[in-house]
Amino acid sequence: MNNINGCTVCPRKCNIDRSRRKGRCGASDKIICARAALHYWEEPCISGNKGSGAVFFGGCPLRCIYCQNHDIANGKRGKEITLERLVEIFIELQQKGAHNINLVTPTHYSLEIIKAVKAARDMGLDIPIVYNCSGYESVDTLKMLEGTVDIYLTDFKYMDSTLAKRYSDAENYPIIAKAALDEMMRQQGRPVFDSSGIMKKGVIVRHLLLPTQLENGKAVVKYVYEKYGNLLYISLMNQYTPIRHFEKYTELNNKVSKEEYDALVDYAVSLGVENGFIQEGETAEESFIPDFDCQGV
């Protein structure tokens, strides 16, 4: 059983007493939230026309060096809230018309989220819960989330363990992500949509293509599609934005080229991927990254 006083909630399993000091995720035992607002830039079946009720948590177990939400991933942005306030936020987002509650980087607060969702449902929350994560998830924690989470919106970043070590200090990422995705699919299986095309249950696997890493992207798509076919949705993203200058990882100083991204999309089509999302036009802009100004918190 995961215990906040010897935390093993994520695959880092740092076993730190988060009531005394922060774990590898950068989080203590206090809930830190950086933004809670309607969000319109997720996949169409998540954002719809009313927006997804996105709750951005502070901290992150993975901490990729190129993180697009680095301001909150390091745990230094956001506001401390109580469990009761988190429940209120869920209800408020539903009242604003959100299609769902979208928990962004929620892993290290999974225990609190389970309690908050139960309390919110007792108060009338009846929209889906989206678990928007990095894919670096503990199977034991995911099993605890069964019955709480309706939709897994998960990254699958790497099939290359060397790349996972280089960019995320997580050489075991491919092994962990495969096992996590198996558990997500066991829970949700075939996707369910309402009459307007909004997802109610299911799994969406995202892959953010990184500059010069087309082969890794192809390997991810190949694995996911050959294992699960069209039982899930694959979302191919070209929105990588250089958020700082890298001296050591100079390839990350560039955006993804149109040729690289088109090649990944063409590869997915050649495999037979039917249930998928692609990004068109210029998405690699900082304007697509929200202000973490504690709005709605």
The domain limits of the chain are 33-288
Question: Degrees (nearest 5) of the Cα angle 31, 37, 43?
Answer: 105
Q: How far does Cα 63 stand from its chain's mean position?
A: 12
pTM (global) more than 0.75: yes
Mean residue pLDDT of the chain comes to 93
Q: What is the largest CA-CA distance in the chain?
A: 52
Q: Which two tokens stand for residue 109?
A: 């607060």
Around 90, how many Cα atoms within 13 Å sit in the side-chain half-sphere? 27
pLDDT of residue 290: 65
- % the chain with pLDDT above 70: 92
Cα 175 to Cα 1, 15, 18, 200, distances in angstroms: 21, 21, 26, 28
Number of Cβ within a 10 Å radius of residue 199: 24
Residues 65-106: tens digit of each pLDDT: 999 876 665 556 679 999 999 999 999 999 999 999 999 999
The DSSP H or E segment spanning 130 is: strand 129-133
pLDDT at residue 224 tops 60 = yes
Q: Torsion-angle region of residue 199: left (phi > 0), alpha (psi -120 to 50) or beta?
A: beta
What does the pLDDT average to over 185-211?
97
pLDDT of residue 76: 62
pLDDT at residue 2 tops 50 = no
pLDDT of residue 3: 52
State how far the Cα of 135 lies from the Cα of 133, in Å rounded to an integer. 6
Band (pLDDT 50/70/90 cuts) for residue 294 is: confident
pLDDT of residue 70: 65
Q: Please, what CATH class does the domain formed by 33-288 belong to?
A: alpha beta
pLDDT of residue 284: 46
Residues 167-193: tens digit of each pLDDT: 999 999 999 999 999 999 999 989 999
What does the pLDDT average to over 110-135?
98
pLDDT of residue 74: 59
- Number of helices and strands (H, E) in the chain? 9, 10
SS3 category, 37: strand
pLDDT of residue 1: 38
Query: Out of 99-103, 244-248, 271-275, which region has the weakest mean confidence (pLDDT)?
Result: 244-248
Terminal Cα distance for the chain, rounded: 30
pLDDT at residue 276 tops 80 = yes
Residue 268 in contact with residue 276, Cβ under 8 Å? yes
Question: Degrees (nearest 5) of the Cα angle 156, 288, 101?
Answer: 65
pLDDT of residue 295: 87
pLDDT of residue 231: 97
Gyration radius from the chain CA atoms: 18
Query: Out of 8-22, 66-80, 237-251, 261-275, which region has the weakest mean confidence (pLDDT)?
Result: 66-80
Residues 6+ apart with CB under 8 A from 274: 230
SS3 category, 116: helix
Q: How far does Cα 173 stand from its chain's mean position?
A: 14
pLDDT of residue 138: 98
pLDDT at residue 4 tops 60 = no
